[in-house]
Every structure is written in structure tokens, then in C-alpha cells.
Amino acid sequence: MDIYEIIFLSFLTFTLLGLSWLLFGFHKKQIFTHKTCPSIEVIVSCHNEETILPSLLSSLEHLEWYSDDLSICLVNDRSTDQTGEILKSFVRAHQPKFKYLEVNHLPDTHLNPKKYALSLAISQSHKDWIVTLDADSRPHRRWLIEMFYGFNNDWLAIVPSYRLIGGRGVFFYLRNFETLVQSFLMSAAIKLDHPLSAVGAGFCYKKDAFYKVGGFVNHLNKISGDDDLLLHSLSKLQGKIISKCFPLTTIDIFDRDTEKYWKARKRHYSVASDYPLFWKIFGILVIPGFFFFPMGILLYGIGIWHFFKFSFFLVILLLYLTLIELCIQSVIHYTTHKYQIWYSMAFLFVFPIWLGLVLINTLHPTREWK
């Protein structure tokens, strides 16, 4: 066995072990015994969102909570369209539950606009918990109640699962496939006590904990991180981070278009270098297997690689497919993702291409929030 064969099999082994570990974590149970309800401030930062505001405001208007101790802050972040007027008109008709905050300019051009807007809104909040939503998110009416079901005072943050809605076509399904993978990784990592990522649309955290870690101050100038980097900071505190990966806690996010999708991915993965060392090592060991294994299948199929017997290859292939299928079926079972049989094949053959595009995309930095 030469060095190339050893490298191939080593990365394949790490990939299978990594998948198994994540699958084990995803199925770990978190016990919820309902005791009390906190006061909540929902913050929605909007930048030039006039076309999608009506459906957003409708979903926020019907959002249910156990008590009247709920406030919803609508932030107009330097919009140049009719966003501000729409928000002000809505708030006037729905006070005191709703309130309006306007951000006219950034005190420093190097600041991330969204983080600055959120920080300003949080500083004016008198509630115990902060819930951030994006203008394109669509929580159903009982979403908050389900997110905080079983609440205890030692909770620090709650991370939901999510999916895309409103789109169609192959590229929409591929984008939604990524949300399925992300929901799996977010939940598994939290249950394994190594929080990896969160989605900004629906991220809930204790306001006191936010200030204990310095808020966004350590990464205020980075284009992303109002979710992932904040989650990493919160995980260092004493307390619990909760994964809510269930049908009623899966938040819907309105699909935009391919260009905006890639901008969002660029922002999200631009902070990968700031991830905890544990996940950097995990990625270095596990992710290459997703490249090598599909490549190995193709090369073996055309007769280039003959260094292992067909029976051994078949066993490994079936094990790999089984793990992928179990991961996908788990997310389908616990969320509102709709199952497509070709998701498994997409993961096997499209995922390496997707990872490559993500890498290329991330290497071209941008300062754009939107």
C-alpha cells in the first residue's frame, strides 16, 4: 500500500468516524421541564426590505407568547426605500407591543451595520432575553412558545433549525439541502457540548450573557458573526445552550435568489478562521473525505484504482451511504424539511462541488451586508 492509498483510507476513516459522532450527538436527548417564562425582546433589523415587509409584519403580529411581557423592536437600518415609512406606520397602529428604532448612519465605516443596529436595539431593551429575526424570516404563531418550552434560568441561548420557503427549481432544492445539513450540524454540535454554528434568524440569547461576553465588540468589524461567533463566546460561560430541532421550532426563511444566497454564504464563511480550534481540526480531518470518497468511486469505476478488493469497497460504500441517509432521515424526522430521495445522492456527489464553490466564493471578501 503506497502513501496515496494510506492518505485516501485515512481521510475516509476520519470522515466515517466524524459522521458517526455527529449522528450520535444529534440523537442525544435534552430534557425539558417547563418552569417559568422570561421577558422577551424580539429584534428585527431591516435594510431596504419594502417588498417583503407585509408578510413579515403579518407573521410578527400573530406571534404568540405566554404573557404580555413581549416587545418587538423593528429597526430601520439606513434604508433608502420605503422601509422606514412602512415600519413607522405599522408601529403606530400596534403600540405598545411594537416599537420603532431608526439607524441613520454608522459612527465608523468599518463597523458591521447589522451588528451595530442589533447592539443599539439591545442596549435600549429592558427584557431578559433577546430574540433576533431577519426580515426574510417567517416564524409561525407558536414558534416563540415552542422555542422557550421547558425554559430554565440556567439557559444561555437557544438555537433553532431552519429551512427555506417560497422558491422553486433545482437551485432552490440545493440551497434547501444546505439548510438541512446546517440544521443537522448545529443541533449535533450543541448536544455534543461543542457549539459550532447558529442561524441569525431565530437566535435567542440571554441579554445578561450577551453583555458578559462583551456583545459583538470582539468582532464588530467583521462582516458576519452575529450568530456563530457570538455563540462561540456564549459557550464559554457557565450555563446551557439548547438546540431546538423540532417541527414547531423550525423557522422558515423566505428564499431570495442565487446572487443573494452566495453573498450570504460569503458573509457566513468569511469568519471560519475565527472558529474554535476544535472545529478547525475536525474540518481538516473530516471534510477531505467528502472530496476523496466520491472521487474514489469515479476513479475506481473506470479502473484506475485497484488497490482494494471490490467487496471491501462495496462495504465501505454502503456504510458511507447508510450514515448519510441516517443523518438526512434524522433531520427530516425532527424538522419540517420535506424529504427528497435524491438528497442522499446530492450529498454524495454535489457536496464536494458545493464545498469548492464555497471556498472560491469566500476567498473574494466583501464589505456588503446585503
Say yes or no: 216 and 321 in one domain: no
Q: What is the pLDDT of residue 300?
A: 59
Say yes or no: 61 and 119 in one domain: yes
Task: Give the residue from 257, 202, 210, 265 showing the smallest Cα distance to 234.
Answer: 210
The reply to whether 271 falls in a domain is no
pLDDT at 232 over 80: yes
The reply to whether 301 falls in a domain is yes
Spatial CB neighbours of 233, under 8 Å, sequence gap ≥ 6 = 213, 214, 218
The reply to whether 367 falls in a domain is no
The reply to whether 368 falls in a domain is no
The reply to whether 19 falls in a domain is yes
Range of the domain at 13: 3-25+277-362
Task: Give the residue from 268, 251, 245, 243 showing the smallest Cα distance to 369.
Answer: 268
The reply to whether 95 falls in a domain is yes
Say yes or no: 222 and 311 in one domain: no
The reply to whether 251 falls in a domain is yes
Say yes or no: 301 and 169 in one domain: no
- Cell, residue 364: 473574494
Say yes or no: 96 and 201 in one domain: yes
- Cell, residue 18: 466524524
pLDDT at 25 over 80: yes
pLDDT at 1 over 60: no
Which pLDDT tens digit goes with each residue over 53-70?
Answer: 999 999 999 999 988 899
Say yes or no: 314 and 179 in one domain: no
The mean per-residue pLDDT over the stretch 337-358 comes to 72
pLDDT at 122 over 90: yes
Say yes or no: 246 and 347 in one domain: no
Q: What is the pLDDT of residue 368?
A: 57
Q: What rounded mean pLDDT belongs to the chain? A: 85
Strands 70-77 and 40-46: parallel
Name the domain count of the chain: 2
Q: DSSP readout, 3-17?
A: HHHHHHHHHHHHHHH
Phi, psi of 226 (to 5 degrees): -70, -10
Q: What is the pLDDT of residue 362?
A: 62
Phi, psi of 152 (to 5 degrees): -130, 155
CATH number of the domain to which 234 belongs: 3.90.550.10
Which pLDDT tens digit goes with each residue over 146-162?
Answer: 999 999 989 999 999 99
Say yes or no: 17 and 38 in one domain: no
Say yes or no: 75 and 220 in one domain: yes
Q: If pLDDT is split at 50, 70 and 90, which confidence band does 90 have? A: very high
Which pLDDT tens digit goes with each residue over 172-200?
Answer: 888 888 888 899 999 999 999 999 999 88
Which pLDDT tens digit goes with each residue over 93-116?
Answer: 998 999 999 998 888 777 788 899
Q: DSSP readout, 116-181?
A: HHHHHHHHT--SSEEEEEETTEE--TTHHHHHTTT--TTEEEEEE-EEEES--SHHHHHHHHHHHH
Strands 129-134 and 40-46: parallel
Per DSSP, the three-state class of 41 is strand
Say yes or no: 211 and 97 in one domain: yes
Q: What is the pLDDT of residue 289?
A: 83
Say yes or no: 140 and 186 in one domain: yes
**% residues pLDDT > 70 (the chain):** 88
Say yes or no: 226 and 342 in one domain: no
d(CA 52, CA 56): 7
The reply to whether 264 falls in a domain is no
Q: What is the pLDDT of residue 303?
A: 56
Spatial CB neighbours of 252, under 8 Å, sequence gap ≥ 6 = 137, 138, 139, 140, 162, 163, 164, 165, 336
Q: What is the pLDDT of residue 310?
A: 61
